[in-house]
Structure formats: structure tokens, C-alpha cells
Amino acid sequence: MTPQLAELVAVDAGGTSTRAVVVRPPGRCLAYAVAGSGNPIAVGPETAAAAVVESVSGALHQADVPGTRIRLVVLAMAGASSTSVAPEIRRRLAGIGLDATLVFESDLLATYFSGTWRPDGYAVIAGTGAGAIRVEDGRQVAVADALGWLLGDEGSGFWIGRRVVRAVLADLDGRGRSTALTPLLLARLGVPAPSHAGDREPIRAVVRASYAAAPVRLADVAGLAFEVDGDGVADRILDDAAAALARTLTAVRSATVSGPVVLGGGIMGLGPQVAGRLAASCGTDEVLAAADGAVGVSVLAVRHVGTSVDAAVFDQLTSSLAAAR
Amino acid sequence: MTPQLAELVAVDAGGTSTRAVVVRPPGRCLAYAVAGSGNPIAVGPETAAAAVVESVSGALHQADVPGTRIRLVVLAMAGASSTSVAPEIRRRLAGIGLDATLVFESDLLATYFSGTWRPDGYAVIAGTGAGAIRVEDGRQVAVADALGWLLGDEGSGFWIGRRVVRAVLADLDGRGRSTALTPLLLARLGVPAPSHAGDREPIRAVVRASYAAAPVRLADVAGLAFEVDGDGVADRILDDAAAALARTLTAVRSATVSGPVVLGGGIMGLGPQVAGRLAASCGTDEVLAAADGAVGVSVLAVRHVGTSVDAAVFDQLTSSLAAAR
């Protein structure tokens, strides 16, 4: 390490927000800045790249560290490999005087390392999408599901939200059981309740609203399943989601890797209905909650420059990042 | 009826083709012509309207009947209500000298009347989409499912095709059972088989191909499930499809309506795996196969002008239409 190249930049580019931190190895977070969505699939490569660079610029400014001192930029981003976002980000980083090496990492691996410093273990993520990974020696060596809303993501926000809407439609047209989800969803969408038996206008309105947005936006109503208590239909949906995520975890299990299981993604934070059931089925006491993905990318950045991350470094990263927020 | 206004035009505008017939009441089909897709949701209102008018023009020419003699045009079309296709069709029909009243009918009801003349009964349709209707006194009085690929269409071509792709991905990444669908789908998509254990390139290629097309195009691979014999995974998919369609039928059942059950749509024609299982679960011996939807629209057209359709008229319509094809 030359004296001039000292700090690292770690960026977690997510669908909702992009967070950048400046890290001084081994484990001190100097600054933390936030920008908009950095998911190139959701907002396009240009907007995603702009969000990344905005967050990096903000963090550098806050840390009062010039871009020329940055040794490495590590960026966790879903879908980076399938878009042309990398050259766009390099170009824009150069524009703010940052020419350091840029490394892309899996957003799933960043989630894992936001919950633990241990180099071997598992993560199950259920946000808008869903998947599981196995981590060995700090690398993601197996992945299951994470196939997107059309083909997979079982137990994800999209998957739950779609089941919610289908259950409501089945309730409304008499194919399915009555559920407390129905008034909740109609209220959320601003659709009047049926005015008489056989009134199909609410069905048509729910269908219209659902097809009017991008399919993945069905994830927005997943939370309704967590809001109704003791509803058999909602319970079944969340039970099935937990079971699906457990199957996904099973697919990456290895008899020789017995580390912790990190649970991450927005669905895990909505209540114990999915995370608790999943944790109970993990077959280990070491079930950890993921934290800010920026912690995980910071761990990856520090590991990239050869620093081994132990419990003490992890704790320092976590607490200094929390203080910088 | 004035002497000048004598014949009727019946049009079945489907996703694959549009078929128009000229009918002389009570039941003689004079001509039959075919054009391209007339589904406004699939190809847009302009192209759909052009296909409708091309087929009508072809049938009139073949029948040697001027447009001024046409008393009524009846058009069965999915999604007509949700698009601006009606004015476009009226404008283009006027352009070929046809100013007759234009009536839109449900494509599901046209399927029903392609299989029977009886005014009371049921239809279950599984094509790219899926749904069931109850018919009373010649009118569609109840519908179940037919909610589109994102929210419903259980047991449809899309639904089966999506299950096929998911089963193959589960096979490829070790989450699911081995299935003969895997080599079939890889061959269909031109994707090389895995070159070594843990080779994820085939998974990525299948995922890329699936997201590259419109979601509903997954229906194109539904047929693979019918091609493998004695495959447990494919059997399960088709069993589930038949069960889903049976549930949809149950949702429109009425204790006071005991007519026939007409089975229609491309999936029913792919083999006995779905249609046979569904027929066995219908609880009636009167299970009929839908024919060309143009027969059903012809029945609807004839009924519209007050002619009652009995077995003799239905047989004449069916046989004269077959002869005109």
C-alpha cells in the first residue's frame, strides 16, 4: 500500500437506495452517504450509475478525503453483469477524480457479510426477489433461486404480493375463501367494495391496477399479509413463503459447511411470520439478522485489500458505520 | 328484415388467426376467410382491426356478397373492452362499404357455442390463458378466472409453460427432481447442456431467453409437458393444470344449470393429459370438444337476428362452415 492510496469506498446499490461509505482499513468507517435507486434493471444503467456516483461523491466530501487517495471501490449491485452499467460508472467516477480499481460484488454476498464476519456460512434473502447462497472462505460458492419474478424468487415480496392479489380475487369471485386481505387491498388500491352480490367491478379494478404497473410492483402489497392477524389465507401465504425459502436454503446446504445463517431483505423485517418460521427450520442456533448492506460491502472491501476481518474488525465497522449514518 | 339486408358476418378474432364467415340465416355458411392475429392486446388495435377487416373482406369476396347486403357483424374478441379497437374496426369496415351494426361478443361464449347449440351449459377454455363460464339462455352469466397471466389463468398454456421452465431450472440447479423436460427445453431454446457439475451457464441462458420475450410467450413451451411420457415432473404439472381448471369450472357451477361442458383452447387439443382428466372430473357425461370458434360466433350471429338455433341449424352451420374452409 502506497501512503497516498489509503482509504476504500464501499457502495451498496439497491433498488430503493444506494449507500456509499469511506472506510479506512482495517475497520473504520469515516463517512456514509445515501442516494436514490442504484439498481440498473429497475431504473436503467444511466440513472443507476448517477446514483452510485452521487453517493460516493457525498461520502468522500463528508470524510474530507480526495478521490485520489482511494485505493479501491467495491460495489455490490444486483444485475450488474447483465447491463452496461460498469463503463458508465467508471466514466462518471473518473469525472469526480476517482480512478481507483472498481470491483463488482454480489449483492447477496454483501447481505451475508452485513450479518457476520465469519468466512463460511449461508444467507437467505427475501426482498423484492429471493435467493440463498453458500459462502466458503469469504466467497459465494453456491446460489439457489434468485431467478427473478417470472421464473423464481419463491417466498419473495413479489411472490407474496402476487399471492395476496390472487387470494383477494379468488375471495371476490367466490372461488376462494373469505379473507381479511380483501378490504385491506381494496383500500390500498382505492377500489370500492362490491356494491351487490355478483358485482364484478372491484375484480376488474384490481386486475386493471395490477397490470398497469410493472409486474414486480406486486411486491408493494406483500406487507398486507403481515398486517392481518389470525387470517387463515394470509397465514397460509406466509407459511408457504417460509417453506419456499427453507427449500431454497436447503439447495445450497453443504454437509461440510456449518456456519451461521444470515437472514436479509425487506420481507424478513416485516415481522416474525416469515423470518421466525424460517429461523426455526434452519437447524442451527446461529441465525443472524442482516444489517445495512453497506456493512457487508465494507467487509468485502477490507477483505479485498488483504485485511482479515475478525469479530473485532467487524464490530468496529458496524459501530463506526452506525455512528456515521 | 328488409330484402336487401340478408346475410350476417361472424368473426372470431384470436391470438393466432382471425376467421370470418358469411352466414345466410338460418344456418348456411357461404364463405370462410382467414387473416392474421386479431387480438388487440397482443398486436395492438391497428393491426388487430386490419386483420378483422382483411378476413371480412376476403369472406365477402368469396361469397360474392356485397357489404351493403350485410345485416349484422358479430365479432368475438378477447380484450375488446379494454382497448380502442371498436372505432378503428368500424372505420375500416366502412372503408370496404360495410356499414352494418357491429356487435362484440365474449370469445369465451363463442368457444362455448362452437361445441353445442344448447342455450344452457358451461365452457372451460385453456389456451394461452384460461377461464370458465356459465351460459344461461344463450348469455354468459358467470365467469371465473380469465384474469391474465400475472394474476390467474391457472391451468393455461402460460401457466403450464412457466411450470415447465421452473421445473427445468430446479432440475439444473439441484433444487428439484430430474426430469425429461430438461433436455427437451434446452434443445428447444438452443442451449447447450451443462458441461460439468455445477455449470451454471445453461441456467443463465434459460433465464435470459425467458426474460427476453414477453412473459406470456412462456406458453410456447407448454407443449413439451405433453411430449414426455411417464415423466413424474411433467405428469405432476399436467395433473395440477387439470385440477386447477376443474376448480375454475366449479366456481361457475350452478345447481340449476345442468347443460353440457364444452372444453376449448389449444391446451385441450395437445393430448388427453389435461382434457381427459378434466372431463373425468366434470361429473357429467356431456363433455364436448370446442370446434372452430367461427362456428360459435356464427351461432351468436344467428341468435342475434332472432333465429333459434337447434340441433339441425347447428349441424348445418358446422358442416357448411367445414365445407367452406
Task: Compare A316 and A283 and report the one with higher pLDDT.
Answer: A316
Judged by a CB distance cut-off of 8 A, whether residue B54 touches chain A is no
Cα–Cα separations (whole angstroms), residue A153 to A33, A221, B35, B193:
30, 16, 40, 23
In whole angstroms, give the CA distance from residue A252 to residue A123.
Answer: 10
Task: Give the bridge partners for A24, in sequence order.
Answer: A28
pLDDT at B212: 87
Residues of B in contact with A150 (CB under 8 A): 162, 210-211, 215, 218
For residue A162, pLDDT over 70 is answered with yes
For residue A215, pLDDT over 80 is answered with yes
Query: What percentage of chain A carries pLDDT values higher than 70?
Result: 97
Judged by a CB distance cut-off of 8 A, whether residue A173 touches chain B is yes
For residue B130, pLDDT over 70 is answered with yes
Q: Which three cell numbers stand for residue A259?
A: 456456519
Residue among B166, B174, B247 minimizing CB distance to A151? B166
Residue among A145, A169, A215 minimizing CB distance to B147? A169
Residue among B152, B174, B210 minimizing CB distance to A169? B152
pLDDT at B83: 63
Query: What percentage of chain A carries pLDDT values higher than 90?
Result: 69
DSSP 8-class letter at B131: E
User: Domains of chain A, with CATH numbers?
Assistant: 7-105+292-324 (3.30.420.40), 119-181+214-290 (3.30.420.40)
pLDDT at B3: 44
Average pLDDT, chain A: 91
- CA-closest candidate to residue B80, choices B52, B56, B116, B54: B52
B145-182 b/e (C-beta count within 10 Å ≥ 16 → b): bbbbbbbbbbbbbbbbbbbbbbbbbbbbbebbeebbbb
Interface mutation vs chain A, best among B108, B147, B217, most A CBs within 10 Å? B147
In whole angstroms, give the CA distance from residue A303 to residue A301.
Answer: 5
Contact check, Cβ <8 Å, A175/B247:
yes
Judged by a CB distance cut-off of 8 A, whether residue B152 touches chain A is yes
Min Cα distance A323 → chain B (Å) is 40
Residue among A144, A145, A150 minimizing CB distance to B211? A150
The helix/strand/coil state of B101 is strand
- Which residues, including other chains, have CB under 8 Å from residue A272's CB and lie 6 or more apart? none
State yes or no: ipTM above 0.90: no
- CA neighbours within 13 Å on the CB side: how many for A270? 24
Residues of A in contact with B162 (CB under 8 A): 150-151
- CA-closest candidate to residue B30, choices B6, B54, B49, B48: B6
Contact check, Cβ <8 Å, A148/B207:
yes
Residue among B151, B203, B218 minimizing CB distance to A169? B151
Judged by a CB distance cut-off of 8 A, whether residue B211 touches chain A is yes
**Dihedral (CA of B178, B184, B190, B196) sign:** positive
Contact check, Cβ <8 Å, A175/B248:
yes
In whole angstroms, give the CA distance from residue A104 to residue A88.
Answer: 13
Q: Which three cell numbers stand for residue A49?
A: 450509475
Interface mutation vs chain B, best among A145, A151, A154, most B CBs within 10 Å? A151
In whole angstroms, give the CA distance from residue A23 to residue A323.
Answer: 13
Confidence tier at A284 by pLDDT (50, 70, 90): confident
**pLDDT tens, position by position, A233-274:** 999 999 999 999 999 999 899 999 989 999 999 899 898 899
Confidence tier at A82 by pLDDT (50, 70, 90): low
**pLDDT tens, position by position, A48-77:** 999 999 999 999 999 999 988 999 999 998
DSSP 8-class letter at A67: G
| B215, closest residue in chain A (CA to CA) | A150
Q: What is the DSSP string of B137-172?
A: TTEEEEEEE---TTT--TTSHHHHHHHHHHHHHHHH
DSSP 8-class letter at B325: -
Confidence tier at A226 by pLDDT (50, 70, 90): very high
Query: pTM value?
Result: 0.85
In whole angstroms, give the CA distance from residue B135 to residue B296.
Answer: 13
> What number of other Cβ atoms are within 10 A of residue A252's Cβ?
24
pLDDT at B82: 62
Average pLDDT over residues A72-89: 83
Confidence tier at B4 by pLDDT (50, 70, 90): low
- CA-closest candidate to residue B127, choices B105, B145, B140: B145
Residues 85-144, chain B, touching A (beta carbon < 8 A) = 143-144
| A250, closest residue in chain B (CA to CA) | B175
| B177, closest residue in chain A (CA to CA) | A251
Interface mutation vs chain A, best among B82, B106, B150, most A CBs within 10 Å? B150
pLDDT at A182: 97
Q: Which three cell numbers stand for residue A268?
A: 424478513
Residue among B148, B166, B215 minimizing CB distance to A207? B148
Contact check, Cβ <8 Å, B251/A150:
no
Helix orientation angle between B293-304 and B107-115, rounded to the nearest 10 degrees: 100
- CA neighbours within 13 Å on the CB side: how many for A244? 23
pLDDT at A267: 93
Contact check, Cβ <8 Å, B150/A162:
yes
Residue among B151, B200, B248 minimizing CB distance to A165? B151
Q: Which helix (H) or strand (E) holds B227?
A: helix B224-227
Confidence tier at B91 by pLDDT (50, 70, 90): very high
Average pLDDT over residues B302-307: 91
